[in-house]
């Protein structure tokens, strides 16, 4: 049975065997004696005691509560005997010699002694032995990738522990945690604090700040140059090929290229205004970005006024041209007209069959026209085909079946709007009680697209049935039904009209 002594180290209570306690007490007294009249002796001794407490905790946490005599001997061996470094502590440590001290196991911490925010970058740099400036520049570079640099920095700030004690700061740098290194680290830190206010260090800090700003400026410059190059490539591709396809579906590529779309929508003069205006609006800011990037990359102090004036003038010209283009385009559509054709089916039928022609321009697989605007436009020589006519079904006021075809369009004048509406070609076939409509309508290219549209209304008496083919979902518009389902769900079924509402059969 061994006698134990209760002792306090760094605010923690330990039960130490009596012989071990005497050895530890003698060790700390000798360390204090060798520190002599050093004004920082108490702080250094406190750090040494904190490290000894950590080592005791490591040796007792998983097996027992008592610090044995052999544990004390092991800890003293790790910390180093005062006689081994007695002469060294009288002098300030050489930073290079201190950096080359015997290495221990590294641990990653946040380094608040060399921090700009939370010490994450300096902690990573210490752990891997990197230059902290490059780590910071790496996080800055990641700002341009959806802000990942900010999210990663905040996550590491939360996860990584803070190097608050001298032992943790030594572990962060891979230095062996013993009394000698604790002493040297404290003295080195004190020396750096004293030298911080010197003119030489102020100049170094200023130079380091300038270097950091210059490096960050080069990253920003490269980013602006890349963005400018991408903008010019997209613009060049659009100007010289005009071959952007609007969408691709499982039925193939049915959309227009940009050049065909512009031919359908606008006159040659309007297209010229639009093209030059878009080029100017794109190129104006690109000139500014390139000028600013060159200034940052080559650290040019003066602004290139000529480049900025040229950029502003080019952008302003683009805005003016696009404004003129918009004015002309709106004037071309200022008047509107609808022409209505009524077809009465005098014979009385109990059921009407509704079907749709084969689609030899687009595809029979289109089941809805609302979501495929660009795909349902086709330029075919001097003709344009649009695949979005609509058909509504209502109750008629009398006993006859009635088909109403409404053609609508716009124009610069009322006469032009009437001409554009009446020139729309839309075939409808009536064979007894079978009505077949077209899935698209056609107009001449020279008329351009002026909001041409086709709406068909089928009116049937109450009690009359209507059978919708599977393909009718393509054109069905406003159809009231008792199941309250969307129009695309009505096709392929037979319905009966009752009180202006279709009921399923």
Phi, psi of 428 (to 5 degrees): -135, 135
> What is the 3-class SS of 18-46, one letter each residue?
HHHHHHHHHHHHHHHHHHCCCCCHHHHHH
8/18 Cα distance (integer angstroms): 14
Count Cβ neighbours within 10 Å for each residue of 269-300 and write b for 16 or more, e otherwise.
ebbebbbbbbbbbbbbbbbbbbbbbebbbeee
169/330 Cα distance (integer angstroms): 71
Reading the block at residue 22, the tokens are: 């005497």
Contact criterion met (CB below 8 Å) for 366 and 252: no
pLDDT value at residue 6: 84
**Greater confidence, 5 or 244?**
5
Average pLDDT value for residue range 85-90: 45
pLDDT for residue 465 is more than 50: yes
Give the pLDDT band of residue 430 (cuts 50, 70, 90): very high
DSSP 8-state secondary structure symbol assigned to residue 376 = G
Distances from the Cα of 465 to the Cαs of 157, 344, 348, 354, in angstroms? Answer: 72, 17, 12, 11
Closest CA to 106 of 121, 125, 127: 127
Q: Looking up tokens 């002694």, which residue turns up? A: 113
Average pLDDT value for residue range 376-394: 89
Average pLDDT value for residue range 263-288: 88
pLDDT for residue 278 is more than 90: no
368/390 Cα distance (integer angstroms): 10
Give the pLDDT band of residue 177 (cuts 50, 70, 90): low
Distances from the Cα of 239 to the Cαs of 96, 273, 315, 320, 383, in angstroms? Answer: 62, 13, 17, 19, 24
254/271 Cα distance (integer angstroms): 23
pLDDT for residue 204 is more than 60: no
Average pLDDT value for residue range 201-208: 52
**Percentage of the chain modeled with pLDDT above 70:** 71
Phi, psi of 96 (to 5 degrees): -65, -40
pLDDT value at residue 90: 45
pLDDT for residue 353 is more than 90: yes
Give the pLDDT band of residue 92 (cuts 50, 70, 90): very low
SS3 417: helix
Q: Which of 65-74, 382-391, 404-413 has the lowest mean pLDDT?
A: 65-74
110/388 Cα distance (integer angstroms): 63
Residue 32: HSE in the Cβ half-sphere, 13 Å Cα cutoff: 11
Q: 3-state DSSP helix/strand/coil percent for the chain, to nearest 5?
A: 50, 20, 30
Average pLDDT value for residue range 29-37: 73
Closest CA to 268 of 349, 328, 178, 179: 328
Give the pLDDT band of residue 413 (cuts 50, 70, 90): very high
pLDDT for residue 85 is more than 50: no
Q: What is the pLDDT of residues 435-461, one digit of tens each?
A: 999 999 999 999 999 999 999 999 999
Q: Which of 59-63, 202-206, 271-275, 396-400 has the lowest mean pLDDT?
A: 202-206
pLDDT value at residue 97: 43
**Greater confidence, 176 or 113?**
113
Report the predicted TM-score, pTM, of the whole model to 2 decimal places: 0.53
Q: Which of 22-31, 277-286, 494-503 has the lowest mean pLDDT?
A: 22-31
pLDDT value at residue 98: 40
**Greater confidence, 242 or 16?**
16
Closest CA to 454 of 479, 419, 425: 425
pLDDT value at residue 181: 59
> What is the 3-class SS of 197-265, one letter each residue?
CCHHHHHHHHHHHHHHHHHHHHHHHHHHHHHHHHHHHHHHHHHHCCCCCCCEECCEECCCCHHHHHHHH
The mean of the pLDDT values for the chain is: 77
SS3 90: helix
Contact criterion met (CB below 8 Å) for 360 and 420: no
pLDDT value at residue 436: 95
pLDDT value at residue 176: 64
Q: Which of 3-17, 176-190, 386-400 has the lowest mean pLDDT?
A: 176-190
Phi, psi of 4 (to 5 degrees): -115, 155
Give the pLDDT band of residue 193 (cuts 50, 70, 90): very low
Q: Which of 98-107, 256-265, 292-301 has the lowest mean pLDDT?
A: 98-107
pLDDT value at residue 101: 42
Q: What is the pLDDT of residues 210-240, one digit of tens each?
A: 555 555 556 665 666 677 677 777 666 666 6
Give the pLDDT band of residue 185 (cuts 50, 70, 90): low
pLDDT for residue 297 is more than 70: no
Average pLDDT value for residue range 160-184: 67
Q: Where are the domains of the chain?
A: 4-109+163-195, 228-331, 335-504
pLDDT value at residue 178: 56
**Greater confidence, 484 or 320?**
320
Residues contacting residue 270 through CB under 8 Å, at least 6 positions apart: 325, 328, 329, 332
38/178 Cα distance (integer angstroms): 19
pLDDT value at residue 426: 95
Q: What is the pLDDT of residues 114-155, one digit of tens each?
A: 777 778 888 888 888 888 888 887 877 776 565 566 778 788
């Amino acid at each position: 049975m061994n006698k134990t002594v209760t002792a306090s180290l760094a605010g923690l209570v330990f039960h130490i065997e009596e012989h071990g306690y005497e050895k530890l007490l003698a060790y700390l007294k000798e360390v204090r004696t060798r520190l002599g009249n050093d004004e920082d002796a108490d702080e250094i001794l406190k750090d040494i005691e904190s490290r000894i407490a950590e080592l005791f905790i490591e040796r007792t946490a998983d097996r027992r509560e008592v610090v044995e005599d052999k544990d004390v001997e092991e800890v003293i061996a790790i910390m180093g005997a005062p006689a081994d470094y007695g002469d060294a502590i009288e002098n300030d440590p050489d930073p290079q010699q201190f950096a080359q001290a015997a290495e221990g196991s590294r641990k990653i911490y946040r380094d608040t002694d060399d921090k700009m925010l939370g010490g994450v970058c300096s902690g990573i740099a210490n752990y891997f032995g990197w230059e902290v400036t490059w780590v910071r520049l790496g996080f800055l570079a990641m700002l341009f990738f959806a802000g990942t640099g900010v999210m990663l920095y905040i996550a590491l700030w939360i996860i990584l522990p803070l190097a608050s004690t001298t032992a943790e700061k030594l572990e962060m740098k891979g230095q062996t945690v013993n009394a000698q290194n604790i002493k040297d680290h404290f003295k080195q830190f004190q020396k750096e604090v004293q030298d911080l206010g010197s003119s030489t260090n102020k100049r170094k800090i200023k130079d380091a700040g300038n270097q950091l700003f210059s490096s960050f400026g080069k990253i920003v410059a490269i980013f602006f140059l890349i963005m400018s190059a991408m903008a010019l490539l997209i613009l060049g591709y659009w100007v010289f090929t005009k071959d952007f396809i609007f969408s691709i579906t499982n039925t193939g590529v049915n959309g227009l290229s940009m050049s065909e779309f512009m031919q359908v929508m606008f006159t040659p003069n309007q297209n010229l205004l639009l093209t030059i205006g878009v080029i100017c609006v794109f190129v104006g800011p690109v000139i500014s970005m390139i000028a600013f990037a060159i200034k940052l990359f080559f650290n040019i102090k003066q602004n290139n006024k000529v480049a900025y004036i040229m950029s502003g003038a080019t952008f302003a010209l683009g805005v003016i041209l696009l404004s003129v283009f918009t004015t002309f385009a709106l004037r071309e559509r200022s008047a509107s007209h609808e022409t209505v054709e009524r077809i009465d089916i005098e014979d009385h039928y109990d059921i009407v069959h509704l079907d749709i022609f084969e689609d030899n321009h687009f595809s029979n697989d289109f089941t809805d026209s609302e979501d495929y605007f660009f795909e349902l436009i086709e330029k075919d020589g001097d003709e344009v085909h649009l695949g979005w006519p609509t058909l509504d079904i209502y109750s008629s006021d009398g006993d006859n079946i009635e088909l109403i075809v409404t053609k609508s369009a716009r124009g610069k004048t009322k006469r032009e709007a009437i001409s554009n509406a009446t020139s729309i070609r839309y075939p409808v076939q009536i064979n007894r009680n079978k009505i077949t409509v077209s899935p698209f309508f056609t107009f001449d290219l020279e008329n351009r697209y002026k909001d041409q549209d086709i709406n068909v209304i089928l009116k049937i008496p109450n009690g009359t049935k209507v059978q919708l083919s599977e393909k009718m979902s393509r054109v069905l518009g406003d159809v009231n039904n008792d199941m309250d389902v969307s129009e695309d769900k009505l096709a392929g079924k037979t319905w009966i009209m009752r009180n202006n509402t279709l009921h399923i059969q």
